[in-house]
Structure 1
């Protein structure tokens, strides 16, 4: 487990010690990088950290499940572990494609060409693509709505799959049935905490969006000032020189270091997709545990 990211001064961190490599989930590492924060591994064991997330009613419920005898096996036809593995793989692939092909998160070039529309035609589109904006007029509220919609889709679809796997485990053996009951109890106990933590991600991305937009505005102002200065210099030189055509061509060919319009927004879209895929990994961990138990029967 890791502590939540905490903002630190970049100058202070450079003067002290370099960042230690964090071995936590990719989601935490990615949010730490995008938020320019320092994350440290928790010295507490996992069990101790989890105990802080559980209320006394949750602890009683878990204790009751652990102390109770294994439930009877529910009869019925069983799907093989490999069948369920394929189902899990299909859902994960579908959710990954929903993130990769979402119209709001498509790069500007794809949005202008409309190439994302065909890929999206077979999917439900909870959020329409935002109107095309040049650069710094983009509205983060559209991206926030898109992120929350994809979060809800992941929560619903993965929750349904998790329940299905528990039903399959309950039909295998008393020990597996008890594991399924324990997983259901853990899901209920940690659901509020999980929603709270993952619900904070759009806010962190909003701060990242504003930093990128501010940097784009500052870069655009610098480029405009450089162009204006170059134009003034070219005009002055043209007035004093006899070879006006040569000087004008030279000034026109001089690079200003301009940034491609909307580059910062495309970079942000890619960052949002990376965070969503990392969140998908986190949400799939309980499913992978249940699947491993089912395949080991």
Structure 2
């Protein structure tokens, strides 16, 4: 008999902020500590969860009804498969839309976007063009867009799992509990990303200024977005970090859908 794939709490235990592509990328830029924790997931979770929160998790995990296994009828199995396709397609739609938004916002050549990467001109004084504040606001705006689309998707998937099977209902309840317990800390971690990026912004700008001194050239903000110029490099790195953050934000939802897929298939 083939081992049944995991669709319970362990499906969520793979979600690890420290080992994510986002943290590795920030560490590669030398602006964040990407050292992998030696602790297990329960040990790391224990540092985030209070005694009261632990009771909430215990309640989510302790339902006897969730342990029952009932073989679904053919009609129920068909409905479950259809529901899985709906949530999986919605995940693809949301992720594709956000990837497109990030890329368009950072590259005018790809088309117009509601949010645009701040681009200085020759008329912009260098001391104003070199302010990080517009880029901070730009990143925060894209974070708000990600949150506005990813959070409802996660709720939709949870609601679907609640009626799919007892095991998936238990998993959805656990995800709800984890979201409530860890949500504030997760938001603080995401909020720190644009602050960390300011360090990288200043690093690249400092190298640019040092190169100007050596060349004797006059600084022109209009050249900062030319290929391999410092602000263009920062923009390219920003795209990678935004895409990595999107992956982290989608991980809980992807874990739920993966568990759903394991049951359906």
Which category of TM-score, normalised to the shorter sequence, fits these structures? Answer: 0.7 to 0.9
Q: TM-score, normalised by structure 2?
A: 0.77
Q: TM-score, normalised by structure 1?
A: 0.69
CA–CA distance in structure 2, aligned partners of residues 206 and 91 of structure 1:
28
Does 1:289 pair with 2:255?
Answer: yes
CA–CA distance in structure 1, aligned partners of residues 63 and 257 of structure 2:
23
Find the partner of 1:95 among 92, 95, 98.
98
Shift of 1:186: 0.6
- When residues 27 and 179 of structure 1 are mapped into structure 2, their CA distance, relative to the original with a 3 A threshold, is same
CA–CA distance in structure 2, aligned partners of residues 62 and 38 of structure 1:
29
Shift of 1:146: 1.1
CA–CA distance in structure 2, aligned partners of residues 64 and 203 of structure 1:
37
CA–CA distance in structure 2, aligned partners of residues 128 and 95 of structure 1:
14
CA–CA distance in structure 2, aligned partners of residues 97 and 198 of structure 1:
20
- When residues 185 and 2 of structure 1 are mapped into structure 2, their CA distance, relative to the original with a 3 A threshold, is closer
Aligned to 1:261: 223
Find the partner of 1:151 among 143, 148, 163.
143
Conserved in 1, the CA contact under 8 Å of 2:32 and 2:196? no
CA–CA distance in structure 1, aligned partners of residues 134 and 153 of structure 2:
29
Aligned to 1:133: 121
CA–CA distance in structure 2, aligned partners of residues 159 and 37 of structure 1:
26
CA–CA distance in structure 1, aligned partners of residues 196 and 120 of structure 2:
24
| Count of paired positions | 227
Which structure is higher in RCO with an 8 Å CA cutoff and minimum separation 6?
2
Conserved in 1, the CA contact under 8 Å of 2:158 and 2:256? yes
Aligned to 1:199: 191
CA–CA distance in structure 1, aligned partners of residues 21 and 91 of structure 2:
20
Unaligned segments of structure 2, at least 5 residues: 1-15, 71-75
Aligned to 2:203: 211
> CA-to-partner distance for each residue in 1:116-165, whole Å, 9 max, x for gaps?
5x432xxxx2x455362356633211111111111122122111011111
Conserved in 2, the CA contact under 8 Å of 1:2 and 1:39? no
Between Structure 1 and Structure 2, whose CA radius of gyration is higher?
1
CA–CA distance in structure 2, aligned partners of residues 158 and 172 of structure 1:
21
Shift of 1:212: 0.7
CA–CA distance in structure 2, aligned partners of residues 36 and 191 of structure 1:
24
Aligned to 1:85: 88
Unaligned segments of structure 1, at least 5 residues: 4-23, 229-259
